[in-house]
Chains A and B, each alone.
Chain A
Amino acid sequence: MRVTIDDITVDVEEGTTILTAARKIGGKIVPPAMCWYSKLKGSGGKCRTCLVKVAQSSAKDPRPMPKLVASCSTPVQDGMVVQNITSPEVLEARKAIVEFLLINHPLDCPVCDQAGECDLQDLSFLHGMVETRSEEPRREFPAIDIGDKIKLNMNRCILCYRCVFTADQITGKRVHGVLYRGDAPEISTYIQNVIDNDFSGNVIDVCPVGALTDRTFRFKSRVWFLNAMDAHRDCTHCGGKVTAWMYGNEIYRITGRKDKYGEVEEFICNECRFEKKNFSDWIIEGPRKISRESVISANHYEKLIKPSIIHPIEGTTEKQE
């Protein structure tokens, strides 16, 4: 099937969604996706950041679709013509969505572990407004510990449901879901049941914001101070292929290997993620390729200026080479 997105034409298989077709083209025309996750069945359609305009439904039916559609959950038709960044209407809608996502967001990036690898930060940077038009008090929830490894900060949650699908589909044993409705829903572990499962840590990786974070890494470092290294080990639970976030020879945290759209290549087990923090546990393969646009790849400021940075743990000042 042939589909044209922002004047670029690509051939894809039947059943492909507009978003996947756009990713096949790549580059700036790929709509942002905050809730869809290729590895989670049933995900998508909720955040509405991926809305696009279908200017021509198909070769057979050249009419435009009456509303903007969620590109993550709309299959392409042969001869479809889609507008993303070439449509002012789409950009306007995306701006509106970002505004909606932010009116209740605590904007606590300075104390959020996700800062630097947060999809909402990136999205706001590209599409957000400078000032908020909302004067309402923001929703507030107490932070919850989901077991001793995971922290849930519901204030930052955008209700993408990815963690719910993960708990459902990856861990096999769901003790975790969405409670309440309207503007009051909460991700809950159902009366704070601990998610106790070999794969529960993956909810941290799928969370696009800082709502679910790794307690074993909490406040240890800014991600952009760390080097992302691909590493592996023989693991009996999972493939053992991870990204180790290192400072010198010290491993600060372990995550799945994320691609440029923030999706992990493989889900990893809790043992790899939380227990194996010694250099000797891993075979280091080499630096992980991280998109040049990401804040994380700015981790070495040496080409710009030579700043003094505070060592995140010891608090000692040292010159960066």
Chain B
Amino acid sequence: MGRALLTENILIPGIRDFDVYRAHGGYVSAEKALKEMTAADVCREVTKSGLRGRGGAGFPTGLKWSFLDRKTERPRYLVCNADESEPGTFKDRYLMEHLPHLLIEGLIISSFALGVRSCYIYVRGEFKYIIGILKRAIDEAYQHNFLGNNILGTGLSLDIFLHPGAGAYICGEETALLESLEGKRGNPRIKPPFPAFKGLYDCPTVVNNVETLAAVVPIIGMGGDAYAAIGVGKSTGTKLISACGNINKPGVYEIDFGLPVEDFIYSEQYCGGIRDGKMLKAVVPGGSSVPVLPAGLMLNTVKGEQRLMTYESMAEGGFETGTMLGSGGFIVFDEDACMVRNTWNFTCFYRHESCGQCSPCREGTAWMEPILKRIELGEGKSKEIDLLVSIAAKIEGNTICPFGDAAAWPVASAIRHFRDEFEFHIDHPEIVKNIEHGSIYKYPVSSIQHPASLR
């Protein structure tokens, strides 16, 4: 088990350099696509591969590409979403840091398939050193005529532009990203129109995640059918999972879809079990935005089947007893972790990162945060648990972009599965105030402050 389609060569010294990357089979897929295939062939292979967006929503990439408005005379754009800022997710960073040429190769093939002449990589602003790495790799690709005019004598041209973000999580939402790229305030747009018709500068645009675009390279290399043969059902191929929290071996792992969650957490090949021999308490398996699940439901679905690392199995049980694979940010909590404190922590993040455009999200996130803080500090009231549930329910589904849902789900799911812990905080303030909160929270409570409360 454990095929490495993306990360096979990641540990080779110097793989960041064009020559080393090339010597290890790099840019072979790009050559194959450009010289031996038509754009329609490439799209067909991607559709056949069953590749689904790795940015979080899991939308089929082939289908997304097919929506692109090809009738207009206006230019088309491909935008790579490298704004990775979801708490718990750090897979794109790993890929770009070590294999910048893999992303560039994916961009070349995808641009060819979509008829794109200019593409943009929107990189999270905090990834300053990665911008340098990408810049160098892009320059190398230009030097070797994999970018620029008349690529490899095929008559095709492509330019890649790097755009650093300015530190907003919301600019990872695709339409906010486009606004930001145009130099405006990063507010998500109201859809429709969708980017496939009116995206960047009102032109047809495809936005894809770093890992999605990188996966196009092995798909062209091995063929869509061979890629689709890996995995289970509609979850095909491999996925990068960034594992963190109270585990022995945090890191980025490439897994085949269909791996049982239990194996992922406990096998030596992956997370290596819970740190210090403790017990598993809960997992947030797809980045902070997806519902948290307690250990029992994480390892087995409510039907008693083993839960697998696939989009479908994660969602088994709906919001009552299931969760989502999301972006693959796998956060593990041991028996000592405090779910109230974690929920508060997440909510601080969402309060801070909301764009503030629509009323339910702007007001709701800022309302939940101080309530959770009070409960965590042993100053909560019992009716406030139901109030939190009610606020979360009123944000969910009523907002412009999915951020509202992402802010509501962690709160709703934590209370659904760990209500006793919230109640304990309220009933036993003295104990709560002196509690040791497990190893992931070493800093004292008072040092966390929301910027808005500092004004």
Contacts and interface: CB of A to CB of B under 8 A. Distances in A.
A183 B365 contact: yes
Nearest to B192: A75
Given A45-B190, A181-B170, A184-B452, A96 B357 contact: no
A180 B365 CA distance: 15
Given A182-B365, A184-B455, 9 more contacts: A45-B190, A45-B358, A48-B358, A48-B360, A48-B399, A70-B190, A101-B359, A159-B362, A178-B185
Would you list the 9 A-B pairs with minimal beta carbon distance, nearest first?
A183-B366, A96-B394, A45-B190, A100-B363, A185-B356, A184-B452, A67-B397, A182-B354, A100-B359
Interface SS of chain A: helix, strand, loop or mixed? loop
Interface string B434-455: 0000000000000000011001
A33 interface: no
Nearest to A89: B397
Contacts of A185: 356, 362
Interface of A: 44-49, 51, 67-68, 70, 73, 75, 93, 96-97, 99-101, 103-104, 133-134, 136, 158-159, 161, 177-178, 180-185
Contact of A182 (B190, B366, B370): B366
B239 interface: no
Contact of B367 (A46, A67, A73, A134): A134
B353 A48 contact: no
24 contacts: A45-B358, A45-B400, A47-B358, A48-B358, A48-B399, A75-B192, A93-B394, A97-B360, A100-B360, A133-B387, A136-B370, A181-B168, A181-B354, A182-B353, A183-B351, A183-B354, A183-B356, A183-B362, A183-B363, A183-B365, A183-B366, A183-B452, A184-B356, A185-B356
Contacts of A158: 359
Contacts, number: 95
A10 to B, nearest CB: 22
Interface residues of B, number: 33
B355 interface: yes
Interface SS of chain B: helix, strand, loop or mixed? helix
Interface in B374-418: 387, 390, 394, 397-400
B364 interface: yes
Contacts of B354: 181-183
B398 A97 contact: yes
A157 B8 CA distance: 54
B352 interface: yes
Contacts of A181: 168, 170, 353-356
B358 A182 contact: no
Nearest to A179: B185
A159 B360 CA distance: 12
A46 B358 contact: yes
Interface string B319-361: 0000000000000000000000000000000011111111110
Nearest to A66: B397
Contacts of B168: 181
A161 B351 CA distance: 20
Contacts of A161: 357
Contacts of B397: 67-68
